[in-house]
Amino acid sequence: MSAPPASEEREFFRPEAVAQTAEEIELEGRLVSLNKETNRGTFKLGKTKSIPYHYIGRDKEAFHADFSYKGPVRATGVGHFDENSDLLDIDIRSVERLQGSFQFPDVVAPRTLELSSAVAKRPKALPAPKSKKRKE
């Protein structure tokens, strides 16, 4: 067995205090997960980055409905940043549903066909159906 660390060695094992800053921010992304008891979950920014969130707004039932929305949302709240200005998490005050963007193909103007009266023909009338004669 080894001896416990001496008092001068203990500082080595204590994590350094991380300087954090907080500021009001708006983020666009998707609400990925939600724990309804703690109102905490994961907020996905773009395709790869996800951060933890805590909902601190007043209307928790409306937030639960917003969570069930599958599209993008705009979250407003207090973001917490580390000393490198990397976003660590967000305390969400409000959520606004955003309409997803649609990818429309380039629209080409339709071609117009000109028909001369000499070429345009009227459709022929269909012949009347032949009746079957009964044999008596």
Spell out the domain ranges in the chain. 28-97
Rounded to an integer, what distance in angstroms lies between the CA atom of residue 125 and that of residue 122? 9
- Is it the case that residue 133 has pLDDT exceeding 70? no
Half-sphere exposure (Cβ direction) of 56: Cα atoms closer than 13 Å: 11
Q: Say what the pTM is.
A: 0.60
Rounded to an integer, what distance in angstroms lies between the CA atom of residue 75 and that of residue 83? 23
Residue 3 has a pLDDT of 75
Per the listing, tokens 């005050």 go with: 93
How would residue 70 be classed by pLDDT, with cut points 50, 70 and 90? confident
Per the listing, tokens 């660390």 go with: 5
| Contact by Cβ (8 Å): 65, 89 | no
> Which token pair is 77?
């709240």
> Which token pair is 99?
């309409």
Quickly name the fold that domain 28-97 has: OB fold (Dihydrolipoamide Acetyltransferase, E2P) (2.40.50)
Rounded to an integer, what distance in angstroms lies between the CA atom of residue 41 and that of residue 64? 11
Higher pLDDT, 3 or 35: 35
Q: How is residue 57 annotated by DSSP?
A: S
